Structure 1
Amino acid sequence: MSELSNKQIAERLQHLTTLSIALNDIKNIEVLLERILQTAKNITHADGGTLYRVSADKKYLEFDILFNDSLDLHFGGTLEKSEQMRSIPLSLDNAEPNLEAVVAYAANRKESVNIEHVYDTPLFNFLGMRKFDEFYGYHCQSLLTVPMLDHNSELVGVLQLVNSKAPFSHQVQPFSMTDQVFIEALTSQAAIAITNQELILQLEDLLESLVNLINIGIDEKSPNTGRHCQQVPKLTMMLADAAQKTDEGALKDFAMSMSERYELWLAGMLHDCGKITTPVHVIEKATKLQTIFDRIHLIDARFEILRRDVEIHYLKQQAAQGPSNRLSRELECKLERFEDDRTFLAYANIGSERMKDEDLQRVASIANYTWVDQQGNTQTLLNEEEVENLMIPAGTLTNEERKIINNHISLTIRMLETLPWPKHLQHIPEFAGGHHERMDGKGYPRGLRGEEMSVQARIMAIADIFEALTAKDRPYKTGKTLSESLRILGKFSLNGHIDPELFHIFVKQKVYLEYANQFMDSAQIDEVDETQIPGYLKPQ
């Protein structure tokens, strides 16, 4: 073998080695395929090349990429495909294997085809190639078509090269057997790499489907929480993108790779997965007395019994003593007091405002009213459990129910930490499990301080709160306006609840407005005066 041939062999081995390394690093399948085809062209000094992939139903070879140096053509791959490049059926109308088209022949027979003069062979139908030549004024002469088979000898695609050119004269020459051996080695490597990439994508799709499956389960239990599970990841990514763009403050060097972005997004999708075990009556508790139904109606019925008994008592007195203005006024006063107390309890049951101390005392006083049940037993108007619920200072949850709700985050962490996350997703439990922590260490479940939390967890905390403030579909509250939500969030940035740096970015880069325009009801989007937002100093 000549010195030049040795040099050519060395160059080809170098191409294969470089490609082998690249196959492990390139994650974009289209970029990977272009690299494979370009390497095949370089090894054989081919003027052009085409790559086909097997369709999902295994019935066609779908055109994927075309390169041609002389014509300066590049179709498919990372660019748009040409309408002229059509799919090739692997079977004929009679269901027999298609052996007429050379790429289909190579695919069906799983063997390479090396032709010195294309149009001199009667073995194949080159109608498509003739049309290409006529359209572009080109002449396909030598041809090498190689099936791409993975480690299980399953067909992945077909790689086709045209017109090998001599290194110095650039005259078209046949593809040598050495060319064929090298391309067969290359396509074998490439097929395995493509299969691995597709397997990774399939596993990612499976993972995302399982995540959606969990969220569907939560959604079925609580449609309100289900929407929250979908919106928080979107707002999280908006704020993460804004944080990457900032060129000032403590986060000016914050950056995430595509892999890290995917990790954060997935963590956002899973941030409330522990709620799948939270009882529905706690998640959906719209009023203080709600369980399966709102028990305020039972209290209404007791008030009616009180009214009935009082009226009967005074009517008996009047029957015995005769008509009396004093008795009539006493009856009227009692009935008015009962109605006022009933109205008060109905309002207290909503839990929309924090109760004052005198309101709590009033609940305790009303509870001591007595009534007589059907068995003739004297009962207090409210039992201990009803008093406990109606005396909730704010919101609709008792301390025990609040613990049940809060436990969802501990369970989220436990669930996520049991999974064997790959290296590029290993931070998901920390990201998802940290969105209820606070900068001042007063959050839960671990009481972490700001510096102990990742930026991603702090981002998710803001997204979680803002979505909850603006959500209009919660059973226990109405959605707040944009300006009101920003005022509350601003106060949180001042009292150590959320990261003030991230809040500054949230406002300055108008992440709140981007989110509002996409996901909030138009009636909630009011005019925002950023100078009035607590904790935010508008740049001059």
Structure 2
Amino acid sequence: MSPSSSPGAVDPTIFQKLLDITLSLSAERHLPRLYEQIITAAQDFTRADGGTLYILEGQGAGQQLRFEVMHTLSLGIHSGGTSGQAISLRPIPLWLEDGQANHQNVCAHVWHQGTPVNIPDAYEVEDFDFSGTRAFDRAMQYRTASLLTLPLQNHAGDIIGILQLVNARDPGTGLVQAFNPALEPVALALASSAAVTLDKQQLLQGHKDLLDAFIRTIAQAIDAKSAHTSAHCQRVPVLTELIAQAACRAQDGPLKDFTLDDEGWYELRVAAWLHDCGKLATPDSLLDKSTKLHALSDRIETIQARYAALIAQETLAAADRTDAGLQARISQWREDCDFLARANIGGEFMRPEDQQRVRDIALQTWMDHTGAVQPLLTAEEADMLCIARGTLNNAERLRINQHIDVTLQMLEVMPFPKTLARVPEYAGGHHEKIDGTGFPRGLTGDQMSWPARMMAIADIFEALTARDRPYKPPMPLSQALSILRDMRDRRHIDADLYALFLDARVWETYAREHLLPDQLDVQDPTAYH
């Protein structure tokens, strides 16, 4: 009889298999796939028909073992892990209601004791409660006999899970037999290796979750600084991902080879969430500048007070003389005051004739409380009211634009791992233009990655269609797409990505979720090509 087939013997090749599987487990970064590999390897080693992986969760008296993966080869059961089939079984509590350790369940017992339990036949054991196992057997017309339950103990000595194997099979006859005691140390070594790898991956996932939470907190803090750009930092990642998904589906053209793996997607998401992190250094007075004259307060009220004083002065003076034109002048002043209030709101475009009217009004005068003659508008106020687009003058816009410099400064000093090395380039490029006239570095399209160019379109489209900007009404799709088309023609955004944005109907997917019904005025995008 060969050593591999004699009772209690272990196949000598199993140690090489153990080494190979250990190396394979240590290279796996995806937790569900790692769970699958642990079960598959353990079943292969022990020739088990079934296997279940439990993962520790909870704290204190609430600790329990959650079903993570279940495999039963003869029944075709494959639940949890990467299967897409959820496991409906309730977790196993590690503590009883009276606060005592749960030794009734064999998995809970192994967790408390930290040592394996090898049971030849579950139906002949009275030390543990196998009522759940028997109920499963009745429902599935199965017969659970041998069980090998192993602790997953990490390098710190903590048990982070339990591996239970069911029904070892004889390699020759296929009949169920007890688990070979000689295999216990090998199976325990596999469980220990799996625990260390699993612990490392859980630690990495924990760090990743912490980073994600921190990133989202920064984005929410930026949005909270200004109610007028609320949720911008949260919507740009949505749009960026929609564009990237369309690019990954492209079958032809310059984007046909574009693809992102799991790490690439994560890198893109981090960059999108952090694209405006430099706004943390932007003064709130600029982020909150909802009107052209807004500073600590809206100075339009000061101008309105001057008009009120002017009208009162003229009315009082007219009481001592006949002034047939007074009412006409009062009417004109009120009309001018209303005009200035409208001009103060800002918008996408201010007509040159309206700007000239502001300058003409600035030449008019009123008398202050000292009797000194003052202009109705100061030079600064006139300049502010003549802002052609939005509510910021050139100096303020420059200050706002400096947020991208701060973004780059913040991101470039962060010790990103190799998998996130391109975050600064992606996030820092969303104000660059294809023709090289953007900022902060004046990069041309050839100098920008595809994700950076995607983010530029996402940032613009979100800003155009945002429904929470007080200086403009929500822009309909027709107007937003027209502006994007013009930016494509001026080589401000990438032409291929713009075509993809239209043809893949990214604009429509985003609009259905994030825009108001009144904004959805485009069905056929042909006119915007």
Matches within 5 A, 1:21-420: 21-57=23-59, 59-79=63-83, 80-83=85-88, 85-316=89-320, 318=321, 323=322, 327-329=323-325, 331-352=326-347, 354-420=349-415
What is the CA deviation profile of residues 345-389 of structure 1, one whole-angstrom value per residue up to 9, with x for unaligned ones?
Answer: 223222225445554444333223332222333322222321231
Matches within 5 A, 1:456-495: 456-495=451-490
Kept in 2, the 8 Å contact 1:55–1:61? The answer is yes
The structure-2 alpha-carbon separation of the partners of 1:67 and 1:224, relative to structure 1 and needing over 3 Å to count, comes to same
* Distance in 2 (alpha carbons) for counterparts of 1:158 and 1:14: 24
Residue of structure 1 in register with 2:425 after alignment: 430
Kept in 2, the 8 Å contact 1:99–1:124? The answer is yes
C-alpha displacement at 1:185, in angstroms?
0.4
What is the CA deviation profile of residues 151-171 of structure 1, one whole-angstrom value per residue up to 9, with x for unaligned ones?
Answer: 111111111122222222333
* Distance in 2 (alpha carbons) for counterparts of 1:117 and 1:265: 51
Identity %: 41
- 1:19 has 2:15 as partner: no
* Distance in 2 (alpha carbons) for counterparts of 1:410 and 1:5: 70
* Distance in 2 (alpha carbons) for counterparts of 1:372 and 1:231: 50
What is the CA deviation profile of residues 261-306 of structure 1, one whole-angstrom value per residue up to 9, with x for unaligned ones?
Answer: 1211221111111112222221121221112222112111112222
Q: Based on CA coordinates, which of the two structures has the bigger radius of gyration?
A: 1
* Distance in 1 (alpha carbons) for counterparts of 2:348 and 2:232: 23
Kept in 1, the 8 Å contact 2:364–2:375? The answer is yes
Matched to 2:119, the amino acid is I
Aligned partner of residue 415 in structure 1, secondary structure: helix
Matched to 1:17, the amino acid is L
Q: Which runs of 5+ in 2 are unaligned?
A: none
C-alpha displacement at 1:251, in angstroms?
1.4
* Distance in 2 (alpha carbons) for counterparts of 1:239 and 1:300: 47
Kept in 2, the 8 Å contact 1:54–1:62? The answer is yes
Kept in 2, the 8 Å contact 1:482–1:528? The answer is no
Aligned length: 524
Kept in 2, the 8 Å contact 1:285–1:476? The answer is no
Structure 1 residues 14-23 or 466-475, which shifts more? 14-23
Structure 1 residues 393-402 or 166-175, which shifts more? 166-175
Structure 1 residues 212-221 or 133-142, which shifts more? 133-142
* Distance in 2 (alpha carbons) for counterparts of 1:418 and 1:382: 46
C-alpha displacement at 1:456, in angstroms?
0.3
* Distance in 1 (alpha carbons) for counterparts of 2:348 and 2:71: 69
Kept in 2, the 8 Å contact 1:44–1:175? The answer is yes
> TM (normalized to structure 2)?
0.93
What is the CA deviation profile of residues 325-352 of structure 1, one whole-angstrom value per residue up to 9, with x for unaligned ones?
Answer: xx413x3443344334323322322222
Matched to 1:467, the amino acid is E
The structure-2 alpha-carbon separation of the partners of 1:41 and 1:356, relative to structure 1 and needing over 3 Å to count, comes to closer
C-alpha displacement at 1:460, in angstroms?
0.8
* Distance in 2 (alpha carbons) for counterparts of 1:132 and 1:333: 93
Kept in 2, the 8 Å contact 1:15–1:39? The answer is no
Kept in 1, the 8 Å contact 2:348–2:472? The answer is no
* Distance in 1 (alpha carbons) for counterparts of 2:302 and 2:386: 17
* Distance in 2 (alpha carbons) for counterparts of 1:530 and 1:299: 45
The structure-2 alpha-carbon separation of the partners of 1:346 and 1:67, relative to structure 1 and needing over 3 Å to count, comes to closer
Matched to 1:56, the amino acid is G
What is the CA deviation profile of residues 418-457 of structure 1, one whole-angstrom value per residue up to 9, with x for unaligned ones?
Answer: 2111111111111111111000011111111000011001
C-alpha displacement at 1:224, in angstroms?
3.2
What is the CA deviation profile of residues 186-205 of structure 1, one whole-angstrom value per residue up to 9, with x for unaligned ones?
Answer: 11111111112221221121
C-alpha displacement at 1:483, in angstroms?
1.2
Matched to 1:205, the amino acid is D
